[in-house]
Structure 1
Amino acid sequence: MKVVMKFGGSLLASPGGIPRVSRVISKASKNMKVVVVISALDDVTDLLLHAATNARTWDSTQVIHFIDTIRGTHSQPLTEMELRQATYNEAVDHLEELLDDLKLTLSGVSILRELTPRSNDLLLSFGERLSLVVVSAGLRKAGIAIEALTGGDAGIVTDDSFGEASPEVTKTRRGVKEKLLPLLTKGVVPVVAGFIARSESGEMTTLGRGGSDYTATLLADAIAADEVWIWTDVDGILTADPRIVKSARVIEELSYAEAEEMGFFGAKNMHPLALAPARKAGIPVRIRNGFKPDRLGTLINPRERKSSAIAKSVALVGNVGIVTVSGETLVGRPGTAAKIFELLGKAGVNVLMISQSVSESNISAVVRKGSLERAASALSEGLSRVGISAGVKVEPDVSVLAVVGAGMQGTPGIAAKVFSAVAATGVNVRMIAQGSSELNISFVVASRDSEKAVKALHESVVLGK
């Protein structure tokens, strides 16, 4: 049996995290062929993103302070693992080489006052590359035969779309097979830094946020793995946010389609893009808890099984707002909706949800709160330039709720049950959307009412009370 295991940053950075991960890998590698994918240590990617945003205004003192912070984050687990002196020295030397490269990268950005997409990818790649040094030292201490590789070294080839590169699937399959299968045959565990890859021209590229999961499924597809195990710090995918709903429970099984819907709506789940290689290859994915490795977690597979409950999960997306375009000039005017979304796209605004009245007199879109004013400005100025006289209104304090599950497909009365449960709590629904798949119903409420609505829906449509 071949398994690709991906370990998240919060798990790796937890007290005793790397020895704990080592035990999981050691046990599994005794009776199966294992490929390991690792993320950056917890919070390191966010620190690097902060540096990417601010390094253009930093002086040399600020660069050195940042390097010291990153050094401390990675030196601490090396010290705590009580490695043999030779292993420790080797890891520290490799760490310092990478930190020198990181310092040069940041200094270049600071001097030039410019960060290109190519340099941004190089900067962000240091999170996983530094993590690889630390984790590899711990696995070697545990007596596991490993070979440490970046995603590019492992054979993942992408285009040159820096920031969110797309894999060249055929070349990646060939490259990964050539690199990893001989190692597995020899009983060696490949340990691959997730998130990063290499373009055909040899440049460092990244797969976007959530890219370590994407790395795992790309490798699994290439080597025809039997399963992918995503090790996290939770028991699996839950029916609701446990911070809001105390009775939230682990969902034992989801279809790929259900998991993708939940990923879009912010559940602690894989990014939908990361699921795609596993879905196409029919490879099951398990979300498991690294602190409780005996638990099976949530299985994501091709089967779409309806449960006795109407839905499997209630997801909540906060920190969003509504921008609405309205006016008589919108009515019966072909191409207006296309123009609205073209303007939003050019302004770099991602639209999460759309609603339009049948009268055609208004169109509403849900966007991230941080993009709300930019969206309104782009629409006001852009529509005016093309002769469309319309009002633009923003509502900043709203949240999106999504009810997800295959049990809603082809079942009459689902919407009535959902909105009756919400209405019974005195919550007003501002906007509604449902896809033709019938796997989710999404709607918008005032932020102050969101948690109350989540609790009511969980009781009514997930627990079936």
Structure 2
Amino acid sequence: MKLVMKFGGTSLADAERMRRCARLVQENAGPEGAAAVVSAMDGVTEELWALAEAAAVTGPALVETRLASLRRRHEEAAGCLGGVDRVTQLLAELERLREGIGAVGELTARSRDAVLSFGERLAAALFERALALEGLAPATFTGGEAGLVTDERFGEAEPLFELSLYQMGERVGRALGEGRTALVTGYIAATQHGVTTTLGRGGSDYTATLLGAALGAGEVWIWSDVDGLMSADPRLVPEARLLEQISFAEAVEMAQFGAKAMHPRALEPAAERGIPVRMKNTFNPASPGTLISGGEASGTVARSIHLVQDAGLINVTGAAMIGHAGTAARVFQTLAERGINIRMISQSVSEAGISLAVAGNQLEAARAALESALLRTRAARRVEADREVAIVAVVGSGMRGVPGVAARMFGAIARRGINVIAIAQGSSELSVSFVVSRAAGPEAVRALHEELVQAPGG
């Protein structure tokens, strides 16, 4: 089968690790060939972001210090792998771009994307050499050269789906047909006019699943520094287990609650085309990893328990809210206008109160915005904020349609003397989330894992 393998920044942190990843490509490529997608070397995207910001507002000395660090790291890897000339050429291009930003004293979103693209372009130049050292014949593409076309929302570009799949299938598929190993930069793409864009968070994973969909791959493998998804954070629950198989829907839910999983957007192409995604550990390749597929794995009622500690709770209350159409919409609109994301919503049947969980660093902004919008017009009587809270989430398709799950869940919490402040559940029954005090969060996770995952018949 055709195989697409994406390697993250920690997997490509230096020349030795690149050689390790190249061997994984060589060992796993079947008769139909393999394509590799690469991220920037570990920490390089952050360095480039800081470089771009500094180029617009500071003098050349600080900028040159950052450039020297990037140059030293990539030239050192190139010295081990070969390909020094290509790395030198790319670094010279980056230097010219930096000079242009400094000359105008302004960093646009378009210019930032151009700077950030060098992380993946440099990594691809190095990984091309690593593949060649393993006896493979790489055909290297930037995302745009591979056919990945996006709109012009720089920094968070959205692919033109059908056009991108067609072009990537044609161009990358042709290289595979010639017996070559395709190598594509993750994260970066281009507009229809050829201007470089970036795909935002999870962009390299997104590139990999788009490429898998375009090629009709048998599987997409995401290589990182962990064995796969766990049933809980092992730091909180030493008994946490590796999840060998989960559904796409479960993976999306887990990602929403902070699991070290793929960004939900990156799963869409694979889910739509029914292409399994396997998460594997570069440093423990014998581990089966976690398989994400369309089927629902049998097993425990809950697949995983999550804790979100960076959270705050807003309570909006008042008799004027009862039976008054549009109050909830006004609350949501007020927060949306200020770019505040709502993580969880709970409303009483009486309509006298709405509880909203937001990120901890947005709590005060949310409170101030809602007070201004609602108290002045008496649409609500009180807006209260509580920063000493955490969100606990239970995820698993095994809960769907099973009576008694809620009783077991809240019984386990109650036996530990933990008070539940607010509760939310979607109609899909894939997850239940609730708010507890921040201090009680870790104990709540352990109680639920013991009851719903570890217990016999859990």
TM bin (shorter chain): over 0.9
| Whole-Å separation in 2 of the counterparts to 1:56 and 1:397 | 39
Structure 1 gap segments, 5+ residues each: none
Whether contact under 8 Å (2:2, 2:30) holds in the other structure is: no
Structure 2 gap segments, 5+ residues each: none
Q: Does 1:380 align with 2:376?
A: no
Alpha carbons of 1:106 and 1:343: their partners in 2 closer, same or farther (altered >3 Å)?
farther
Aligned residue number for residue 330 of structure 1: 321
2:406 corresponds, among 408, 411, 415, to 415
Alpha carbons of 1:448 and 1:49: their partners in 2 closer, same or farther (altered >3 Å)?
farther
TM-score, length-scaled by structure 1: 0.93
Report the alpha carbon displacement of residue 53 of structure 1 after superposing the two structures with TM.
Answer: 5.2
Q: Does 1:68 align with 2:60?
A: no
1:344 corresponds, among 316, 325, 335, to 335
Aligned residue number for residue 437 of structure 2: 446
- C-alpha offsets along residues 57-100 of structure 1, whole Å, 9 cap, x if unaligned? 32211111111122233233333xx34xxxx3xx3332233333
- C-alpha offsets along residues 8-49 of structure 1, whole Å, 9 cap, x if unaligned? 111111672111101111112254410101111112223334
Please tell me the root mean square deviation across aligned C-alpha atoms, in Å.
1.9
Alpha carbons of 1:160 and 1:417: their partners in 2 closer, same or farther (altered >3 Å)?
same
Is 184-193 or 92-101 further displaced after alignment?
92-101
Aligned residue number for residue 257 of structure 2: 265
Aligned residue number for residue 288 of structure 1: 280
| Whole-Å separation in 2 of the counterparts to 1:417 and 1:223 | 45
Alpha carbons of 1:429 and 1:45: their partners in 2 closer, same or farther (altered >3 Å)?
farther
Write the letter of the residue equivalent to 1:428. N
TM-score, length-scaled by structure 2: 0.94
Aligned residue number for residue 134 of structure 1: 126
Whether contact under 8 Å (1:159, 1:168) holds in the other structure is: yes
Alpha carbons of 1:333 and 1:150: their partners in 2 closer, same or farther (altered >3 Å)?
same
Aligned residue number for residue 427 of structure 2: 436
- C-alpha offsets along residues 99-155 of structure 1, whole Å, 9 cap, x if unaligned? 333334444444544332222222322221121122222222222100111111111
Aligned residue number for residue 21 of structure 2: 21
Q: Number of residues paired by the alignment?
A: 456
Alpha carbons of 1:377 and 1:116: their partners in 2 closer, same or farther (altered >3 Å)?
farther
Aligned residue number for residue 238 of structure 2: 246
Write the letter of the residue equivalent to 2:433. S
Whether contact under 8 Å (1:63, 1:103) holds in the other structure is: no
SS in 2 for 1:126: helix
Alpha carbons of 1:56 and 1:45: their partners in 2 closer, same or farther (altered >3 Å)?
same
Is 148-157 or 92-101 further displaced after alignment?
92-101
1:145 corresponds, among 137, 148, 161, to 137
Write the letter of the residue equivalent to 2:111. S
Q: Does 1:42 align with 2:33?
A: no
Write the letter of the residue equivalent to 1:65. T
SS in 2 for 1:27: helix
SS in 2 for 1:152: helix
| Whole-Å separation in 2 of the counterparts to 1:100 and 1:411 | 61
SS in 2 for 1:153: helix
SS in 1 for 2:421: strand
| Whole-Å separation in 2 of the counterparts to 1:53 and 1:311 | 44
Alignment map for 1:37-436 (pairs within 5 Å): 37-52=37-52, 55-79=55-79, 82-83=80-81, 88=82, 91-307=83-299, 309-383=300-374, 388-436=379-427
Identity of aligned residues (%): 45
Alpha carbons of 1:224 and 1:30: their partners in 2 closer, same or farther (altered >3 Å)?
closer
Alpha carbons of 1:435 and 1:199: their partners in 2 closer, same or farther (altered >3 Å)?
same
Alpha carbons of 1:342 and 1:114: their partners in 2 closer, same or farther (altered >3 Å)?
farther
